Chains A and B, each alone.
Chain A
Amino acid sequence: MQQNSYPLQHETMLTFPPVWASQVTAYLTSEEIVLAWLEVDLNTRLHFSSGIVVVTNRRLLAKMAEEECWQDWSYQQGLKLSCRDHAGVGNLELFDTQARLAQWCYTLGKNAGVHHLIAEFTQQLHFRLTGETPIQRIPVKCPKCAAVLSSAQETCPVCNQDAHIPPSTWTLFRLWRFARPYRWRLLTGFLLMLGGTAATLVPPYLTMPLMDNVLIPYQNGKPIDVDLVTIYLSGLLAAALLAWILGWSRTYLLAKVSERIGADLRTTTYEHLVKLSQEYFGGKRTGDLMARIGAETDRINLFISLHLLDFATDVIMMSMTAIILVSINPWLALVTLLPLPIIAWLIHLVRDRLRTGFEKVDRVWAEVNNVLADTIPGIRVVKAFAQEDREVARFRAANQRNLEINDRVNRVWALFTPTVTLLTEVGLLVVWIFGIWQVSQDQISVGVLTAFLAYIGRFYLRLDSMSRIVSVTQKAAAGTKRIFDILDHVSSVPEPVKLVTLPAMTGRIELRNVGFRYGTRSVTRDVSLVIEPGEMIGLVGHSGSGKSTLINLICRFYDVTEGAILVDGVDIRSLPIAEYRKHIGLVLQEPFLFFGTIAENIAYGKPNATRKEIIAAARAAYAHEFILRLPYGYDSLVGERGQALSGGERQRISIARALLIDPRILILDEATSSVDTKTEKEIQEALDNLVQGRTTIAIAHRLSTLREANRLVVLDGGKVVEVGNHTELMARQGYYHHLYLSQSRNVDTEDHLAELDSAVRVRGDRV
């Protein structure tokens, strides 16, 4: 029985850190079993150190590396182990009823084991005090994705997928994934290239007999053999024509293929990008992402269609030339090919420095783009505060950095090409010297030397152009890496492995001990709430109390870090994301209108909606009349941000948008707070239409707008502090009462405040 009670014992010891294992084992009494442990990496002064906290079936043990002996606490009444965290540092504390007994600190990387440790401790304590035996195995969950792990210290296989493998030039080979569909065309192109290159090698070869059999005999007094000359010259012409045709068809075919590869790459990247979670976009800058998808794919495309093609031709030509040279005269060939390794070594030498340089150029280019992406959308703020000059200065500074870095790269790069040219000349000189000597020794004919010189001229010419491949390859590799950075990013809101489909949704939402952490900041803690179908809930609280976070979690823009959200009893993480979001209508504070007609904007969530449906939705949203007043009615174009419409009008269009998809769950995130009170009344009427019969969650700054709510949920510091309707909450005289009073005290001034508010907004940050 004993063994069954502690199923974790064996596994726990298996994963125990070896540094501590012997120390712990030595300190344990007989029949004492390790149940859970936490390796801490900070001391209480927050210096990096190491230590361990162990829960056994007898007591709690702990030791830091710099401490001499173990500390231990046996289970007794009143002990409490709890954790909290702040700014990336976790704090595990042990209390009894009088005081804090001990404290341990760790970085959040160790966070995974903490909850398990506390759970084990609490369970053991309970068992020791009450003698109740139901000791169950506590499932260990990954704190990030809630996948069940086999032991507390195991890293989650889902979250740890981006195991830090350093990518290199080999990243280029990852492009094969996109080239694969075109492999047959690529092969044809390659064969054409082979033929074309061979054809270009014929003319120098013909100079040999032309020299030896025609020109030199003529100089020695023989007449020119016209037939022979005709044969040789027509051979030259034929080779040139063949090379032309093959070269043309090869370039056309491969350029066509590479264009397609580039297009696929772009679409795939964009497709992946838009499916990534909100979290990803929060951490990236628009300019950078735009540069990646636009410029980088273009660079890769150019690399494949132009540079890679050239390079392949060069390699083929060089190997063919080498073979021909050796077959004519091995000794001369040896001397000719001698500079090759030196050049190869030179290329290798510069390669590293250039790559770093080009990566820097890329980054700095993205920086220039970022300045643009920052200021153009915020141009009203820039103008309102008359900061044009500063923004220009910022842009100039970014550009200056761009210049500096380019200058540094160019210094290396500029040296590179002339050096290759110099080596070419030196190589030719060597061939001349050795060739003349061989001719004088009658080892080779003048024709052979001429042919060699003709070949080698091309040969070194190719080397020169080949050296360019170094930089473009590095650039393309850097670009590929940046593209694959996006492609490799696994959505932090992953599609479930096992799909559950909900054909019809009633809209019952249940939040079970929901917790959410943004970076190191814990935003929402232990929120539990059940929302019945058709119920309207108002979320109330100061800004920063976690209202919007809760909504983001319900929409699954983010995934909960702890607990679960269930809709109709199903965890939303097991529903297909797109399917789930179809049931959600979202009306935001700042409605976003896409460039297009009003009808298209209303039908955004349901592109195949009929005109009748669109009008019905617009009528219900009280948008119909003002739309008709526009010069082109429903066909009126609205700009990038719907500039031509007022805030209230835009909001009503977005309400119509939500109405049209007829969602079961409706979310109103400060839907009326960016407009004045008069417009608010109009919007409110539209909203009343929208809310009917749907599960509604509304956030509103003005409590008066939540009159219709069945229940109000008051949040503070990421926790639910009060739940109830207006009357109940007022009677309770608690947090809500306080909030309401502080607002109603300003009720006379509210309009005035609203005006002030919007005036500030014109100048302020929310423009």
Chain B
Amino acid sequence: MNQPDYQLSRNAFGRLVLVAKNHQVYEGVVPIRAFPVTASDESIALVSAQGHELAWIENLNDLPEEFCALIRAELISREFMPEIKRIDKVSSFITPSTWWVRTDRGDTAFVLKGEEDIRRLPPTGLLITDSYGIHFLIRDRLLLDRHSCKLLDRFL
């Protein structure tokens, strides 16, 4: 664990504040994962509100505890890619079709506009974009239960 050369805190407005080595203060800093799907805890950038990179984090776990917690909290409130755990039912096998799913962020329903909105992620993952552009992730479709697999198979 190595101490980074900047300070990180959260202000009363709920924004992350970064104080750089040269005492420059940046408000509204956001952590951005470089590979949100393939390597979620590695390669995170801290980016200023203007979109400039301020710091690079090779691995989140290398950071001091409190920094890590701040960044994780911010990521949780920013990143939204529900992971589908089970497909309960679909309204039809022909798109547009409404899917009722259980995700790691609770149960929900979304509309799949067309089969082309299901993107294959190598090797067996799927990224499903709903009609509002929200991405739903299936990390490994082979690990889904039989029922979900059967429903999903009709769209692949």
Contacts and interface: CB of A to CB of B under 8 A. Distances in A.
Which of A87, A164, A359 has its CB near the most chain B CB atoms (within 10 A)? A164
Interface string A676-695: 00000000000000000000
A586 interface: no
Contact of A87 (B78, B97, B154): B78
A224 B12 CA distance: 115
B111 interface: yes
A519 B105 contact: no
A360 B115 CA distance: 11
Interface stretch (A41-49, A498-506, A570-578, A664-672): A41-49
Nearest to A163: B96
B30 to A, nearest CB: 8
Contacts of B79: 46, 87
Interface string B101-132: 00101111001001110000000000000011
B92 interface: yes
Contacts of B106: 47-49
22 contacts: A42-B80, A46-B76, A46-B79, A48-B82, A49-B106, A86-B78, A87-B81, A87-B135, A98-B12, A99-B12, A107-B132, A109-B131, A164-B97, A164-B111, A166-B97, A168-B94, A356-B154, A359-B154, A360-B156, A481-B94, A716-B50, A717-B50
B134 A288 contact: no
Interface in A431-455: none
Contacts of B98: 164
Closest 4 interchain pairs by CB? A166-B92, A48-B106, A99-B12, A88-B134
A478 B106 CA distance: 34
Contact-residue size bin, chain A (C-beta under 8 Å from the other chain): 35 or more
A105 interface: yes
A27 to B, nearest CB: 25
Nearest to B104: A47
Given A46-B105, A89-B80, A100-B13, A167 B116 contact: no
A272 to B, nearest CB: 16
A162 B96 contact: yes
A93 B14 contact: yes
B14 A103 contact: yes
A88 B14 contact: no
A139 B152 CA distance: 42
Contact of B108 (A48, A88, A99, A520): A48
A100 B16 CA distance: 13
A363 B94 CA distance: 12
A464 to B, nearest CB: 29
Nearest to B76: A45
Given A47-B106, A166-B94, A88 B133 contact: yes
Contacts of A47: 105-106
Contacts of A100: 12-14
A745 interface: no
B7 interface: no
Interface of B is mostly: loop
Interface string A65-104: 0000000000000000000001111010101001110010
B77 interface: yes
A87 B111 CA distance: 17
B96 A363 contact: no
A186 to B, nearest CB: 28
Nearest to B101: A48
Contacts of B35: none
B77 A485 contact: no
A93 B77 CA distance: 13
A284 interface: yes
Nearest to A48: B106
Contacts of A86: 78
Contacts of A359: 93, 154
Contacts of A166: 91-94, 97
Nearest to B114: A485
Interface residues of B, number: 35
A203 to B, nearest CB: 45
A108 interface: yes
A299 interface: no
A283 interface: yes
Interface in A340-387: 356, 359-360, 363
B51 A107 contact: no
A285 interface: yes
Contacts of A363: 115, 156
B134 A108 contact: yes
Interface in A29-65: 41-42, 44-49
Contacts of A108: 132-134
A145 to B, nearest CB: 15
Contacts of B93: 166, 356, 359
Contacts of A41: 108
Given A162-B96, A288-B116, A356-B93, A88 B135 contact: yes
Contacts of A88: 80, 132-135
A100 to B, nearest CB: 4
Contacts of A105: 77
A591 to B, nearest CB: 29
B80 A46 contact: yes
Nearest to A111: B132
A359 B154 CA distance: 8
Interface in B40-65: 50-51
A426 to B, nearest CB: 34
A584 B79 CA distance: 41
A166 B91 CA distance: 8
Given A49-B106, A164-B98, A284 B132 contact: no
Contacts of B133: 88, 108, 519-520
Which of B78, B94, B132 has its CB near the most chain A CB atoms (within 10 A)? B94
Given A167-B94, A717-B50, A717-B51, 14 more contacts: A41-B108, A46-B105, A87-B134, A88-B134, A95-B13, A99-B14, A103-B14, A107-B80, A107-B134, A109-B131, A109-B132, A164-B98, A166-B93, A519-B133
Nearest to B129: A519
Contacts of A717: 50-51
B77 A46 contact: yes
Contacts of A285: 116
Contacts of A485: 114
A18 B2 CA distance: 54
A518 to B, nearest CB: 9
Contacts of B82: 48
A246 B12 CA distance: 88
Contacts of B108: 41, 48
A87 to B, nearest CB: 6
Contacts of B105: 42, 46-48
B85 to A, nearest CB: 12
A520 B50 CA distance: 19
A416 B114 CA distance: 31
Contacts of A49: 106
Contacts of A103: 14
A632 B134 CA distance: 54
Interface string B27-46: 00000000000000000000
B67 to A, nearest CB: 20
Interface string B5-21: 00000001110000000
Nearest to A162: B96
Contacts of A164: 91-92, 96-98, 111
Contacts of A45: 76-77
Interface in A744-763: none
A44 B82 CA distance: 14
Interface in A490-547: 519-520
A363 B131 CA distance: 20
Contacts of B91: 164, 166
Contacts of A167: 92, 94
Contacts of B80: 42, 46, 87-89, 107
